[in-house]
Chain A
Amino acid sequence: MAKTPLQFRHNGRDVAIFVDGGMNLLTALRDEVGDHSPKFGCGQGGCGCCTVLIDGEPALSCVTLAETVAGKSIQTADGLKTGPELHPLQTAFKENFAAQCGFCTPGMLMAAKALLDRNPDPSRVEVVEAISGNICRCTGYEPIINAILAAAARRAERRA
């Protein structure tokens, strides 16, 4: 099968891979780059487990044609830590018991990051809307919403 070269920035590093025609970004990240943090839940863009950031905007990697991200900057949950230090969202999820099976967690974290990067002090309604494209079958969502609000509050404290 003919392969197309593809270069982009992945969690701050330049990567270069080859993709099959029609390959989606999720498969490219998992099978070619080796980043298993975005997950396959549906292949329909309906569950949000594959959520990544493309140039800072939330996107569903399973319905994104891999080739379209040439030259762009991709961020995944794998890149949230700074060295060994957890991102405030990761700490907040941990402290608020915002995961059980953990499968939706990488996507939730990226959807939350997209929100807080643009809107550092969201209302509860805005948090709910930010994760409205992410399905969780375990927690009932409340701990996740609390975690995101807690992360925003802690950041506000630090800035104050």
Chain B
Amino acid sequence: MLELRKDIFADERDDNLKEIGKPTQRQDMLGHVTATSTYFNDHKLQGMLHLKVLRSPHSHARIRRIDLSEAERHPGVRRIIRGADVPRNLNTLLSLINFGKDDEPTLAVDKVRYKGEPIVAVIADSQREAFEALAKIRVDYEPLPTVFDVEEAMKPGAPVVNETYPKNTFTYHDIYDHQKLRFGDVERGFAAADHILEQRYQMSPIEQAHTETNGSIAAPDTNGRYVVYTSTQALFFSLDTCAKILDVPSNTLHFIGGTVGGGFGGKVDTVTEPLSILGAMLTGRPVRYVIEREEEMIYCAPRGAERIYIKDGIARDGRILARQFRCFFDSGAYTRLSSYAVVKCAAHLPGPYTIPNVSADVYCVFTNRVPATAMRGFGVTAVDFAIECQMDKLAHLVGMDPMEFRLINAYRDGDMKAHRREAKNTALIECVQVAAEKAKWPIRDEFKRMSSRKDGGGARAAIPPTPREPIVVNRAPGQQRTTYDRPAPPAPEPLRSPPPPSPPSAPPAAQPSHGAIRFSSVFGARRR
């Protein structure tokens, strides 16, 4: 049963709370046990059509020709949608907050970049007829060289996966190919260390495997609007993404979410709605697009694999003096949320420990794999696995107990974190102490007496001198205009002499954008 350790941070507790600390029944529990909770597919609409997509069998190929003639004539087929039918056929999920360039088509046109990429969508009276029509589509492919390894993808001469990012890395602030963290001087830390440990950690992609697959039903509704029942985890995100892709005002769309049969990050990508809505628009009928189980497991986005190199310098008394990361996130063929995952990773380093010298370079890399997206703490979970394995190995290296080793290095209130913010409300020490107690893992008395609120700050609150590195500019600065932005202001008159180049870090002023102000952490610029 649940045990609340009220003795810890007792003076900070407030036990007059109405909900916290008390069991509360889910508001939808009665619906679940009576099977009246409504999922997207629990709607029967009159005259509903069924949509299935044709997926690329190649990881990387040029599309030479698509022959739909036989398929279009197949009984029961109402409409086949191609890339040319999609009003705005290039998008990236986070363009809604001006983060990243449009790089992914809804339906592939000239090239496929991962095995399973959708090429055309067949809409038919029945699922069986849709499958039969799919079997009659002929596509001529010209296979291209592939790259599946993140470090191989970054080498000069590697196949270009996604022309929007020709060096196979996502671009931050228009010019950087990675996220960078620098605090102190790791080389001096390594020089002062008694031991060095350098390790490589490799994750696999992980499938969310929600019991309900992705899907949506879109139907023409009153007053020229479309109603959309969807499994998405991100209702407003999906609505705005569809408004952009379909080039309609967002109030054309009425999204109805509700109970999601498990998401875990696998339903944030606006997977099926653009096509089901476009299908409803083109046929004038309700259209249902449900992802099949095998489709879901193989071709829908997993959490991306991460390759993490950690190099630590450690003193023989157990203090970590310097920690250096190089991380490569496998985004697959398109960005989706991996750009953001990298930011989250960089923000999480070096873990809940006070280390005087920290350096990290974190890359979002494109390969010919299924595009990656969110899953259960994406950006953080994997790097934590690497960090904690590393902590165990370091403890072993200096002959210390792994719990005590963590207690020595744990951050405490008042310490300066690598991101130049003061650590507040830390609790790693207490967590380790309770874990040791529960596991009956003996730790010495002096470690049982440690506290997050003691011995922090002071010299540990200082920001150490941090050498500057030359900025490597990969390309000229610029702000890509997305089709979602309002029209640009009229171009100024040409000047006689060229104006001075604008500084790389300042975004162009007075450009209307959508919601950019709220997500300052993504841009790294604080707006206080």
Q: Are A101 and B261 in touch, CB under 8 angstroms?
A: yes
B 248-271 binary contact with A (CB < 8 Å = 1; else 0) = 000000000001111110000000
**Looking at A30, A91, A99, A103, which has the most chain B CB atoms within 10 Å of its CB?**
A103
Which stretch (B23-31, B55-63, B169-177, B326-334) binds chain A? B23-31
A 113-135 binary contact with B (CB < 8 Å = 1; else 0) = 00000000000000000000001
Q: Are A101 and B212 in touch, CB under 8 angstroms?
A: yes
Tier of interface size on chain B: 35 or more
**Interface residue? A77 (CB, 8 A):** yes
Chain B residues whose C-beta falls within 8 Å of the C-beta of A34 in the assembled complex: 44
**Interface residue? A31 (CB, 8 A):** yes
Which stretch (A38-46, A53-61, A63-71, A152-160) binds chain B? A38-46
Chain B residues whose C-beta falls within 8 Å of the C-beta of A136 in the assembled complex: 211
Considering the complex, give the chain B residue whose CB is closest to the CB of A76. B35
What's the least CB distance linking B230 to chain A, in Å? 15
Contact among B34, B37, B209 for A81, CB-based, below 8 A: B34
Q: Are B35 and A36 in touch, CB under 8 angstroms?
A: yes
Q: A101-B260, A103-B261 are in contact. Are A90 and B33 (CB under 8 A)?
A: yes
Expressed in whole angstroms, the Cα–Cα distance for A136 and B261 within the complex equals 10
**Looking at A1, A91, A137, which has the most chain B CB atoms within 10 Å of its CB?**
A137
What's the least CB distance linking A142 to chain B, in Å? 12
Contact among A40, A43, A76, A137 for B210, CB-based, below 8 A: A137
Contact among A37, A43, A46 for B292, CB-based, below 8 A: A43
Contact among A22, A40, A80 for B290, CB-based, below 8 A: A40
Expressed in whole angstroms, the Cα–Cα distance for A104 and B37 within the complex equals 12
Expressed in whole angstroms, the Cα–Cα distance for A1 and B34 within the complex equals 35
Interface residues of A in 63-115 (CB under 8 A from B): 76-78, 80-81, 86, 90-91, 93-94, 97, 99-106, 109
Expressed in whole angstroms, the Cα–Cα distance for A68 and B136 within the complex equals 31
Q: Are B290 and A78 in touch, CB under 8 angstroms?
A: no
Q: Are B44 and A106 in touch, CB under 8 angstroms?
A: no
Q: Are A109 and B33 in touch, CB under 8 angstroms?
A: yes
Chain B residues whose C-beta falls within 8 Å of the C-beta of A99 in the assembled complex: 26, 29, 32-33
What's the A-B contact tally at a CB cutoff of 8 Å? 100
Expressed in whole angstroms, the Cα–Cα distance for A34 and B43 within the complex equals 9
Q: Are B126 and A1 in touch, CB under 8 angstroms?
A: yes
**Interface residue? B41 (CB, 8 A):** yes
**Interface residue? A138 (CB, 8 A):** yes
Q: Are A44 and B293 in touch, CB under 8 angstroms?
A: yes
Q: Are A20 and B211 in touch, CB under 8 angstroms?
A: no
Q: Are A49 and B211 in touch, CB under 8 angstroms?
A: yes
Q: Are A39 and B212 in touch, CB under 8 angstroms?
A: yes
Chain B residues whose C-beta falls within 8 Å of the C-beta of A109 in the assembled complex: 33, 35
**Interface residue? B188 (CB, 8 A):** no
What's the least CB distance linking A21 to chain B, in Å? 9
Expressed in whole angstroms, the Cα–Cα distance for A81 and B292 within the complex equals 31
**Interface residue? B42 (CB, 8 A):** yes
Q: Are B293 and A106 in touch, CB under 8 angstroms?
A: no
Chain B residues whose C-beta falls within 8 Å of the C-beta of A148 in the assembled complex: none
**Interface residue? A47 (CB, 8 A):** yes
Considering the complex, give the chain A residue whose CB is closest to the CB of B38. A36
Chain A residues whose C-beta falls within 8 Å of the C-beta of B264 in the assembled complex: 137
Q: Are B213 and A41 in touch, CB under 8 angstroms?
A: yes
Chain A residues whose C-beta falls within 8 Å of the C-beta of B25 in the assembled complex: 94, 97
Considering the complex, give the chain A residue whose CB is closest to the CB of B294. A44
What's the least CB distance linking B3 to chain A, in Å? 16
Expressed in whole angstroms, the Cα–Cα distance for A136 and B212 within the complex equals 10
Q: Are B126 and A20 in touch, CB under 8 angstroms?
A: yes
Chain A residues whose C-beta falls within 8 Å of the C-beta of B42 in the assembled complex: 30, 36
Chain A residues whose C-beta falls within 8 Å of the C-beta of B260 in the assembled complex: 101
Expressed in whole angstroms, the Cα–Cα distance for A30 and B41 within the complex equals 9
Expressed in whole angstroms, the Cα–Cα distance for A41 and B261 within the complex equals 9
Chain A residues whose C-beta falls within 8 Å of the C-beta of B212 in the assembled complex: 39-41, 49, 101, 103
Chain A residues whose C-beta falls within 8 Å of the C-beta of B28 in the assembled complex: 102
Expressed in whole angstroms, the Cα–Cα distance for A109 and B25 within the complex equals 19
Q: Are A93 and B33 in touch, CB under 8 angstroms?
A: yes
**Looking at B35, B39, B260, which has the most chain A CB atoms within 10 Å of its CB?**
B35
What's the least CB distance linking B130 to chain A, in Å? 13
User: Could you jot down 30 A-B contacts, CB within 8 Å?
Assistant: A20-B126, A20-B128, A36-B38, A36-B42, A37-B35, A39-B39, A39-B211, A39-B261, A40-B41, A41-B213, A42-B293, A43-B292, A44-B293, A46-B293, A49-B212, A77-B35, A91-B33, A97-B23, A97-B25, A101-B210, A101-B260, A101-B263, A103-B39, A103-B210, A103-B211, A103-B212, A105-B33, A137-B211, A137-B264, A138-B262
* 8 nearest A-B residue pairs (beta carbon): A102-B32, A103-B261, A37-B35, A42-B293, A36-B42, A99-B32, A90-B33, A77-B35
Residues of chain A whose beta carbon lies under 8 Å from any beta carbon of chain B? 1, 20, 22, 30-31, 34, 36-37, 39-44, 46-47, 49, 76-78, 80-81, 86, 90-91, 93-94, 97, 99-106, 109, 135-138
Residues of chain B whose beta carbon lies under 8 Å from any beta carbon of chain A? 23, 25-26, 28-35, 37-39, 41-42, 44, 76, 126, 128, 209-213, 259-264, 290, 292-294
17 additional contacts, CB 8 Å, given A42-B293, A104-B211, A105-B35? A1-B76, A39-B41, A39-B261, A40-B41, A41-B213, A41-B261, A43-B292, A44-B293, A76-B35, A77-B34, A94-B25, A101-B211, A101-B212, A101-B261, A103-B261, A105-B32, A106-B35
